[in-house]
Structure 1
Amino acid sequence: MKEKSLGSAILQGKCPRCREGNIFPTSIFSYDKLTEVRHKCPHCEAVLTPEPDFFYGAMYISYAFSVALVINVLIILNYFFDDPEMWVYGVTVVVTNLILLPVMLRYSKVLYLYGVGKLKFDPKYTKA
């Protein structure tokens, strides 16, 4: 079996240790069970939530995603739509935030788990 790359595992929301088990019980793009993270990896049994409030730190990453989204929306609206009225900015930011909510929320948790979590890739778990 071919080993998954780090980037591919992060994009697919896979376990940091085996890069095969899903971190979330639903699709990364689903609005269902937005905040739920599996306690253990279904493939290698690695503990994905080392302490009860572990993912509170992911809020900082989620905040950075939201700020980047707002800045990009403002630049795009200003550049392509010749400085529309202020309500257009507000509505566009709220709508795009609601549409991208599951992606931003879940990827912030994935990045936090990969960055701060103590799990490191171990090839012996990919063949289990």
Structure 2
Amino acid sequence: MLKKGTKLNSILTGSCPKCQEENMYVEKNPYKMGYLFKMHQDCSHCKLHYQIEPSFFYGAMYVSYAVGIAFAVAAFIISFVFLGSSLLTAFIAIVVTSIVFFPVIIRVSRNIWINFFIDYDNDWKNNLGNPKKKK
């Protein structure tokens, strides 16, 4: 399922979108709140600079909204439709889910955002000296 070279692999594992050899984050666990936003500056393998431009990851807020809605809808469907709870209980389930999965939503949103702009390069080792080289 998470085959190296796929966008899904990079998004779900938080690995470098270009080489998928290392994690982009200083701390892999998103629940260590002091390290939630701390990322390496560059990939130690392919030398990709993660902060493509100043404030690059502000765009991830739009993705975060969509991912948060997806989590909320999933919580509603599970609690209201499958478990048959009341609307108030379903609302509480949405709030609790949003709070509990907040760090995961932020990380996944950043991963999705950078994967919009950077593609996997199977030949990244040969392109280290010449970043403009095309296939």
**Structure 2 residue aligned with 1:61:** 63
**Structure 2 residue aligned with 1:106:** 107
Between the aligned partners of 2:11 and 2:70, the Cα distance in structure 1 is 19
- Flag structure 1 segments of 5+ consecutive residues without an equivalent: none
Which 4+ residue blocks in structure 1 deviate beyond 4 angstroms? Answer: none
> What aligned pairs does 1:15-94 form with structure 2 within 5 A after superposition?
15-32=16-33, 33-86=35-88, 88-94=89-95
**Structure 2 residue aligned with 1:123:** 123
SS of match in other structure, 1:76: helix
TM-fit CA distance, 1:49: 0.3
TM-score, normalising length: structure 2? 0.77
The count of aligned residue pairs is: 123
Percent identity of paired positions between Structure 1 and Structure 2: 29
Cα–Cα, structure 1 residues 62 and 17, in superposed 2: closer, same or farther, change >3 Å? same
TM-score, normalising length: structure 1? 0.80
Cα–Cα, structure 1 residues 81 and 12, in superposed 2: closer, same or farther, change >3 Å? closer
**Aligned residue identity for 1:52:** P
**Structure 1 residue aligned with 2:131:** none
TM-fit CA distance, 1:57: 0.6
Structure scoring higher RCO (CA < 8 A, sep ≥ 6) equals 1
Question: What CA RMSD, in Å, does the superposition of the two structures yield over aligned residues?
Answer: 2.4
The answer to whether the Cα contact below 8 Å between 2:80 and 2:90 also exists between their aligned partners in 1 is no
TM-fit CA distance, 1:81: 3.0
- Flag structure 2 segments of 5+ consecutive residues without an equivalent: 129-135
